[in-house]
Each structure stands twice: as structure tokens, then as C-alpha cells.
Amino acid sequence: MPQKRRSQSWAELKQAGNERFKTGQYGEAVSLYSQAIHLLEKSGQKKPEDLSILYSNRAASYLKDGNCSECIKDCSVSLELVPFGIKSLLRRAAAYEAIERYRQAYVDYKTVLQIDCNVQAAHDGTNRMTKALTDMDGPAWREKLPPIPTVPLEVKEKLLQAASSAPPAQQNGIKENSSQIVGDVKKARLLKEEGNALVKKGEHKKAVEKYTQSLGQDPTEVTTYTNRALCYLSLKMYKEAVKDCEEALRLDSANIKALYRRAQAYKELKDKKACVQDLNSLLKIEPKNTAAQKLLQEVQKMK
């Protein structure tokens, strides 16, 4: 009697999919990844990380085949399973870019840079999207962006730690200096917390020094910029406050604190137009913000 052929495991199907992908057989890779996803989901095993990788790999195959809508769907599922996965964010950004959904692509590229500011593909993508959006929407293009999610420090540490401890073949495109980045992120958080403690004591000048040191370790942490801007406002260093709020808004275009504190600085610099513009942008996002409403009333009375 002929031997019954052993059915492949999801891991074997994934490996076969990887091999097909490497040789440019993207349609076959999609089929193999789909079988692996079906088997793993059917098994009832709770393996969100493995399932996330399978969806992300299938998304890469769809992208290579020009099927951007399916790529976006798979990346979104992958990111629901494991939030802030760099490969899934980059693949979804590329798919959005290909179908000219530049705002969504910009958000994904900027999210990647919050996790690892050394990913060149994300820098290049951000620059392309900035140009495309400026051409499309004019100088006020940032106001039309969807919110950019803030990546929690704990998530950054976890993702970068996983990347630095993984074998080179599994590093998901993250630079090999990931362990150094993890150390920097931890140092940045400690320095930021020291700055926060100094603010509570009213020692704003010393707090600025701590926040500056923190940003030297991790220049992608939005709240450190907005915290330092608060100190600059207290020290009447309004131009510096504006610069910090601009940096925060580059990372998160809908950041309420950055918009409010920049408006405060503009008020002191007698730039009524810019102040009103920031407050109107803030109130579009958060219409019931009473502090912004009050400041807007004050500014509108200015000559």
C-alpha cells in the first residue's frame, strides 16, 4: 500500500512560502501563507506573534504582485495582533503610497520613526509624502492628516529588545544597533522623569537641561518636546517654545498640548494670526477644550 503523505504543519507551509517569495513566485507564496494562516487559526493555539508574521508575509507577497488593497488588509490584521510591527507598518505605507493615499502613508512612515529613527526607508517615505502632500494640499497639509498614534515607551523598548535578541535573519529590517537604541530609550525615559520632577518643584531651567539630555538619547518622544516647551513658556523663551512644539507636531500632527503651547507662545510673540490658526486647529480636534476656547477669546480681543 502506498504511504499516506504527511500533511504539512503551518511552520513548514510558512517556510515554503518564504522560499517561493525569495524566488519571485508571489502567487504561490500567497497560497502557502494562506494555508499556514488557516491551519494556525484552526488549531486554536494562541500564537499572535506567529500569526502576525504570517499576515505580514502574505501582505509582502500581495504588495509585490501589485495587490495593494489586500496588502493593506493583511498589514492591518497583523498590526491588530501585534501593534506597531515595523515591517507591517512599512508594507502598509508602501501600499498606501502606491494607491496615492499619501496621508495614511505619511502616518505609517512617521509611526515607524517613533520606534526606530534609524530606518532609512521611513525617512525616505516621509520626505516623499511631505512633498506629495504639499503639492496636493498646500502649506496647510498637516491639518488634513489623520492622527499619528503615539508609540508608548514600553512598546518601543519591547520591540527593539526583541529585534536585538533575534538572529540576524529574523531582525525585521531593524538595524543591528538595536540594543544600543534600547539603552538610549531607557536613559531617555529616566531623564524625562527627572525633568518632570523638577517641573513639579518649579525648577524649569534645570528641567530644560534634563529634557534636552533626554532628547539627545531619544529624539522621537513627543511628550518630552511638549514638556520642554512648557518650561520655555515659564522662562519666557517663546521662540524656543515654538520650535519644540513644531518638533512635537512633526511627530504627531494632532497633538493637543503642542498646538495649545505653541498658541500660547505665539500670543506672547504678538503673532495673532498664527495663534488663532493653532487654536482653531486644536478646536477642530477637541471642540470642547475650554482652555483653548478661553485663550481664543482673549487673543481675538488683541489689536
Query: What is the domain range of residue 101?
Result: 10-144
| pLDDT above 60 for 124 | yes
Q: Is there a domain that residue 250 lies in?
A: no
**Rg, C-alpha atoms of the chain:** 23
Higher pLDDT, 172 or 268: 268
Q: Does the predicted model carry a pTM greater than 0.85?
A: no
Q: How many CA atoms lie within 13 A of 142 on its CB side?
A: 19
Do 140 and 23 fall within a single domain? yes
Same domain, 159 and 212: yes
Q: Same domain, yes or no, for 39 and 136?
A: yes
Residues 122 and 48 in one domain: yes
Confidence at 162, pLDDT banded by 50, 70, 90: low
Tens of pLDDT, residue by residue over 43-85, are 877 789 999 999 999 999 998 888 889 999 999 999 999 999 9
Mean pLDDT of 22-33: 89
Compute the average pLDDT of residues 173-202.
72
pLDDT at position 163 is: 62
Same domain (yes/no): 128, 163: no
What span, in angstroms and rounded, lies between the C-alpha atoms of 259 and 248? Answer: 9
Q: How far is CA 250 from the centre of its chain?
A: 11
Query: pLDDT at position 4, please?
Result: 45
Shared domain check, 104 and 178: no
Whether residue 44 is found in the same domain as residue 164: no
Alpha helix ranges (H) inside 65-171: 68-81, 86-98, 102-115, 120-137, 153-165
Q: What average pLDDT does the chain have?
A: 86
Look at the chain and report how many structural domains it folds into: 2
Domain assignment of residue 110, yes or no: yes
CA distance 211 to 119: 24
Residues 128 and 172 in one domain: no
| Residue at 241 is within a domain | no
Output the CA torsion 14→28→8→15 (10° steps): -30
The answer on 168 and 132 residing in a single domain is no
124 domain-assigned: yes
pLDDT at 164 over 70: no
**Domain presence at residue 297:** no
The 3-class SS string of 249-268 reads HHHCCCCHHHHHHHHHHHHH
Are residues 53 and 103 located together in one domain of the fold?
yes
Least confident of 163-177, 180-194, 280-294: 163-177
Whether residue 178 has pLDDT greater than 80:
no
Which of 170, 188, 220 is the endpoint of a domain?
220
| Residue at 282 is within a domain | no
CATH number of the domain residue 51 falls in: 1.25.40.10
Select from 20, 50, 19 the least CA-distant residue to 37.
Answer: 50
Examine residue 278 and state whether it is found in any structural domain, yes or no. no
Residue with cell 497583523: 78
The share of the chain scoring above pLDDT 90, in percent, equals 53
127 and 194 belong to one structural domain: no
> Is the pLDDT reported for residue 173 higher than 90?
no
Q: 135 with 192, same domain?
A: no
Q: Report CA 221 to chain centroid distance, whole Å.
A: 11
Nearest C-alpha neighbor of 233 from the set 201, 257, 200, 262: 262
96 within domain boundaries: yes
Q: Which amino acid makes up residue 93?
A: A
Give the per-residue pLDDT at 171: 37
Boundary residue ending a domain (200, 220, 240): 220
pLDDT digits (tens, 9 = 90+) for 214-262: 888 778 788 899 999 999 999 999 999 999 999 888 877 888 999 999 9
Contacts 24+ apart (CB under 8 A), 280-284: 281/143, 282/256, 284/143
3-state secondary structure of 294: helix
72, 95 in Cβ contact below 8 A? yes
Last residue of a domain, one of 220, 239, 272: 220
